[in-house]
Amino acid sequence: MNTPGLYHILFISTALFFIGVYGFFTRRNLITILMSIELILNSVCLNFIAFNKYVWPEKLDGVFFTLFIIAIAAAEAALAIAIIINLYRSHNTIDVNAAEEMKY
């Protein structure tokens, strides 16, 4: 077997990205939407790693960015879950369509 090249990894990350986008648009459950966002973030991380490894192997910038993104994703997940819990308390549901009071 050949070792996987840059294009394989880019394909996987693109696929992950659009799976995440699809999930973001179609799911109604806020937890699932949050998971979709994580998928999108992970696809971006994968991109950074792949480009770092195949294009500038002597540098570490991509790895650092990935670490940043993981940290930010953790913080974001904590915030999002706090929001979801509050929504559940007030609306008794975590359906995203239930939270549309902020309109005209």
Partner 1 sequence: MPELILILLIPIMPFAAFLLLGLANGNFIKRWAGAIGTGAILVSAGAALLTAYDYFFVYGGSGGAYRKILVTEYEWLQFTPEISIKMGLLLDPVAVMMMVVISFISLMVHSYSICYLKGEQRFNIYFSYLGLFTFSMLALVMSSNIFQMYIFWELVGVSSFLLIGFYYQKPSAVAAAKKAFIITRFADLGLLIGILILAFEAKSLDFEAIIGQFGHGKSASVSTSSAWLGISTISWAMLLVFIGGAGKSAMFPLHVWLPDAMEGPTPVSALIHAATMVVAGVFLVARLFPVYYFSAPEILNLIAYVGVFSALIAAIIACTQTDIKRVLAYSTMSQIGFMMFSLGVSGFGEEGLGFTASQFHLFTHAFFKALLFLCAGLVIHEVHSNEVSKMGGLRKSMPLTHISFLIACLAIAGIPPFAGFFSKEEILLAAWERNKPVYWIALFTSALTAFYMFRLYFLIFRNSNKHLHQPEHREGSAGQMVPLFVLAAGSVVLGLIPFGRFVSSDGRPLATELHLVFSIAPVLLAILGVSTAAWLYNAPGNRPQEVSQRLGNLYKAAYHKFYIDEVWLFLTKKVIMNGIGKPAAWFDKNVVNALVNFSGNSTIGLASKIKKLQSGKVQLYGMVYLFTVIASVLIIIFFINRN
Contacting residues toward partner 1, per CB under 8 A: 21, 24-25, 33, 96-97, 99-104
Distances (CA, A) of 8 to 20, 26, 51, 75: 18, 27, 12, 30
Q: How far is the CB of 98 from partner 1 (least distance, A)?
A: 11
Q: Which is nearer to partner 1, 10 or 63 (CB)?
A: 10
Report which residue type is found at 15. A
Q: Which residues partner with 29 through β-bridges?
A: 95
Q: Which is nearer to partner 1, 21 or 63 (CB)?
A: 21
Tokens of 68: 């940043």
Helix and strand counts by DSSP (H, E) for the chain: 3, 0
Q: Which is nearer to partner 1, 5 or 95 (CB)?
A: 95
Q: How far is the CB of 102 from partner 1 (least distance, A)?
A: 5
Q: How far is the CB of 95 from partner 1 (least distance, A)?
A: 11
